[in-house]
């Protein structure tokens, strides 16, 4: 039976500009609440669980999310995405999530940890968004401590293996007939204990720093688009990979132009004589001035399309159009001679 797919942002109850971290948290919550094992008497639970997994699969993937934001479900379908990928992938993704929620369980935390992603909000002018621009950004983030090389231990020393958990980062405790694994309270899951801390980072292995990166904004972007810069996020722990930097774009309004996808809209005011007899006027576009022909009999609110003078298509060929909205100005004050001429004209048109 066919049905109308719900909006993925609605499924996970997140805003359209939500970060990857927020999306993951929301998915964790929904997946936990709708898990079929927790709702054995609810026949709809499995469908809601699949729906949440499908939403997360799209919104956590930069390329799929970009397609979905622009073209919705139909856009994903046209790119060959068929939806829910199966329970094996879902349960694999949830393994780490649920281990956090239940205090451990399963995978050790002593291995490399990926660094956190960083968000940077970048404001662009209308023209910068239309034609693209390079920007140097100063990003505050956590980086490896140079003094201890990220170990957290004082120079010349190394962290010791935790004696409580034997370096595993987890300890087992019994709860009724079950053995439950939980994070070691001594090393907090690190598997190692620092006896002599680095004075620069106070044992954290990371320090707050600033880094300048250059982001290349492509032509045709719009508000809400995110640019991912791999590896430019915060440093990982214990040899883990760094996170990513997500540059979230916001375009300032223009005093003369408005944007509708890749088309640009503006207005031009002409006299009623020009509207009646026709004329040629100069119109400002984002590409420069254009000569536009006003055809005789032009009416108020007519729209003249200037082809190819709009926003460049994002990561594609071609441009949108410039849509010129015509306003006809009616004189509010006439001389005696002008009034007589108009009255004679009115008589000829009766």
Q: Which tokens sit at 284?
A: 């400002």
C-alpha closest to that of 11 among 48, 38, 44, 60 = 48
pLDDT in 10s for each residue of the chain, 350 residues: 334 678 899 999 999 999 998 998 898 888 878 877 677 788 788 788 888 888 898 998 888 898 888 888 877 776 666 555 444 444 444 444 544 444 444 444 456 678 889 999 999 999 999 999 999 999 988 888 888 888 888 998 988 998 888 888 888 876 655 667 788 888 888 888 888 989 888 888 888 888 899 999 999 999 889 999 999 998 887 667 889 999 999 999 999 999 999 999 999 999 999 999 999 999 999 999 999 999 999 999 999 999 999 999 988 889 999 999 999 999 888 899 989 988 888 888 87
Say yes or no: domain 258-348 is CATH 2.60.260.20: yes
Q: Tokens 């799929």 map to which residue?
A: 64
Q: Which tokens sit at 36?
A: 């079929």
pLDDT attached to residue 178: 63
pLDDT attached to residue 251: 93
pLDDT attached to residue 175: 63
Q: Sheet with 258-260: list strands edge to edge.
A: 258-260, 263-271, 322-329, 303-306
Query: What is the sign, positive or negative, of the torsion defined by CA atoms of 43, 47, 53, 55?
Result: negative
pLDDT attached to residue 80: 62
pLDDT attached to residue 184: 87
pLDDT attached to residue 87: 45
pLDDT attached to residue 269: 94
pLDDT attached to residue 151: 82
Q: Which tokens sit at 2?
A: 């066919």
Q: Which tokens sit at 148?
A: 């201890």
Contact by Cβ (8 Å): 189, 169:
yes
Do 1-101 and 258-348 come out as alike in CATH topology?
no
Q: Which tokens sit at 303?
A: 């729209």
Q: Classify domain 107-158+197-252 at the CATH class level.
A: mainly beta
Extract long-range pairs of 79-87: CB within 8 Å, 24+ residues apart.
83/54, 84/50, 84/51, 84/53, 84/54, 84/57, 85/53, 85/54, 85/57
Q: Tokens 């990979």 map to which residue?
A: 241
DSSP state of 168: S
Question: How many CA atoms lie less than 13 Å away from 300 in the CB half-sphere?
Answer: 6
pLDDT attached to residue 4: 66
Count of CB atoms within 10 A of residue 122's CB?
Answer: 17
Q: Could you tell me the residue ranges of all domains in the chain?
A: 1-101, 107-158+197-252, 258-348
DSSP string, 59-94: HTSHHHHHHHHHHHHHHHHHTT--S---HHHHHHHH
pLDDT attached to residue 81: 62
pLDDT attached to residue 88: 42
pLDDT attached to residue 258: 94
- Domain at 1-101, CATH homologous superfamily: DnaJ domain (1.10.287.110)
């Amino acid at each position: 039976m066919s049905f109308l797919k719900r909006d993925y942002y609605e499924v996970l109850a997140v805003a359209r500009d939500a970060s990857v971290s927020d999306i993951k948290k929301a998915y964790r919550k929904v997946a936990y609440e709708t898990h079929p094992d927790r709702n054995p008497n609810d026949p709809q639970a499995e469908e809601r669980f699949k729906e949440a997994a499908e939403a997360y699969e799209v919104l956590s993937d930069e390329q799929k999310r970009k397609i979905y934001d622009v073209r919705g479900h139909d856009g994903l379908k046209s790119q060959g995405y068929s939806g829910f990928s199966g329970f094996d992938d879902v349960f694999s993704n949830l393994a780490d999530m649920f281990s956090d929620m239940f205090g451990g369980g399963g995978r050790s935390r002593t291995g490399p940890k990926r660094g956190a992603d960083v968000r940077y909000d970048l404001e662009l002018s209308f023209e910068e968004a239309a034609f693209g621009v390079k920007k140097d950004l100063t990003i505050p983030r956590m980086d490896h401590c140079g003094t201890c090389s990220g170990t957290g231990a004082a120079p010349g020393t190394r962290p010791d293996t935790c004696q409580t958990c034997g370096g595993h980062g987890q300890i087992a405790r019994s709860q009724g007939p079950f053995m439950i694994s939980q994070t070691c309270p001594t090393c907090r899951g690190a598997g190692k204990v620092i006896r002599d801390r680095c004075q620069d980072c106070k044992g954290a292995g990371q320090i707050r720093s600033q880094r300048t990166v250059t982001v290349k904004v492509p032509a045709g972007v719009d508000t809400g688009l995110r640019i991912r810069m791999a590896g430019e996020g915060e440093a990982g722990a214990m040899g883990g990979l760094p996170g990513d930097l997500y540059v979230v774009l916001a375009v300032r309004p223009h005093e003369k132009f408005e944007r509708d996808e890749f088309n640009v809209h503006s207005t031009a005011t002409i006299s009623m004589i020009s509207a009646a007899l026709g004329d040629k006027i100069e119109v400002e576009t984002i590409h420069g001035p254009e000569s536009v022909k006003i055809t005789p009999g032009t009416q108020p609110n007519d729209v003249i399309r200037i082809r190819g003078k709009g926003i460049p298509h994002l990561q594609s060929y071609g441009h949108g159009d410039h849509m010129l909205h015509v306003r006809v100005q009616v004189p509010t004050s006439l001389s005696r001679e002008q009034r007589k001429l108009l009255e004679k004209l009115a008589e000829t048109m009766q």
